[in-house]
């Protein structure tokens, strides 16, 4: 099989670069795969818009437009017998069923329709990191145990802030004060540092296991 896996941002891509080989096997043996950062695709779409639109359109509008363009291209280029597209996006504070159906509907707008599916990280991809506390502890031996044990898996709670409070000096308050792009850099470090120790089968995140099971479904 050939998998095209679209994930929301750079930290998600770094994490999946660790995890996908553990699910699909080494690249090309037997499955081929590519992990694509949706944010990079979004910037390409925005670059072609009038400047005032690129600055003012809501993120979801640009996300849907970006994914529609990409999915239509996959529908024409990927072989139907062994080509699969998986879209992974953070739920954030959206309504799960509504957002999920909106993303799924993007597939049906393509002609031909690419084979694949949608999965949501609940609330965001840091929930998948917190789904393996042993991996967090190995990456950050001095992580705050009280914060780690207080986290309710896949809850809508400000997940990246929760992880920051567990593993960063000064916690989320310090990071928010610094702002972007430092927050993005920290997220990438967490994904890389924790991802290398994660055990796919033991992850406690339901949204991660939904993603994991979807990949296994297409392998079978």
DSSP string for 76-100 = HHS-TTTEEEEEEEE-TTS-HHHHH
Average pLDDT over residues 97-125: 96
**pLDDT score recorded for residue 33:** 95
Question: Which tens digit of pLDDT belongs to each residue from 53-104?
Answer: 778 888 889 999 999 999 999 999 998 889 999 999 999 999 999 999 999 9
Q: Domain ranges in the chain?
A: 2-219
Between 214 and 52, the more confident residue is 214
Which residues pair with residue 89 across a beta bridge? 120
Task: Determine the average pLDDT of the residues in 198-210.
Answer: 97
Count other C-beta atoms under 10 Å from residue 192's C-beta. Answer: 15
Distance CA 50, CA 98 (A): 29
pLDDT at 220: 67
Nearest to 38 by CA among 5, 74, 81, 77: 5
Instruction: Decide if 75 contacts 111 (C-beta within 8 A).
Output: yes
- Confidence at residue 58, expressed as pLDDT on a 0 to 100 scale: 85
How high is the mean pLDDT of the chain? Answer: 94
Residue 126 CA to residue 116 CA, distance in Å, equals 24
């Amino acid at each position: 099989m050939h998998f095209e896996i679209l994930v929301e941002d750079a930290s998600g891509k770094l994490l999946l670069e660790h995890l996908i080989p553990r699910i699909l096997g080494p690249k090309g043996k037997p499955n081929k795969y590519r992990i694509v950062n949706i944010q990079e695709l979004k910037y390409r779409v925005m670059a072609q818009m009038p400047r005032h639109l690129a600055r003012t359109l809501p993120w979801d509008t640009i996300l849907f437009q970006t994914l529609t363009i990409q999915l239509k291209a996959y529908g024409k280029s990927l072989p139907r017998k062994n080509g699969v597209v998986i879209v992974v996006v953070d739920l954030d504070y959206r309504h799960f069923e509504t957002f999920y159906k909106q993303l799924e509907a993007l597939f049906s707008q393509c002609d031909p329709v690419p084979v694949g599916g949608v999965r949501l990280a609940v609330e965001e991809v840091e929930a998948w990191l917190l789904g393996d506390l042993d991996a967090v502890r190995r990456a950050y031996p001095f992580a705050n145990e009280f914060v780690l044990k207080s986290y309710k898996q896949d809850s809508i709670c400000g997940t990246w802030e929760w992880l920051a409070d567990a593993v960063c000096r000064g916690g989320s308050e310090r990071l928010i004060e610094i702002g972007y792009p430092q927050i993005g850099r920290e997220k990438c470090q967490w994904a890389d540092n924790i991802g290398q120790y994660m055990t796919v089968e033991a992850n406690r995140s339901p949204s991660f296991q939904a993603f994991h099971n979807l990949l296994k479904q297409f392998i079978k």
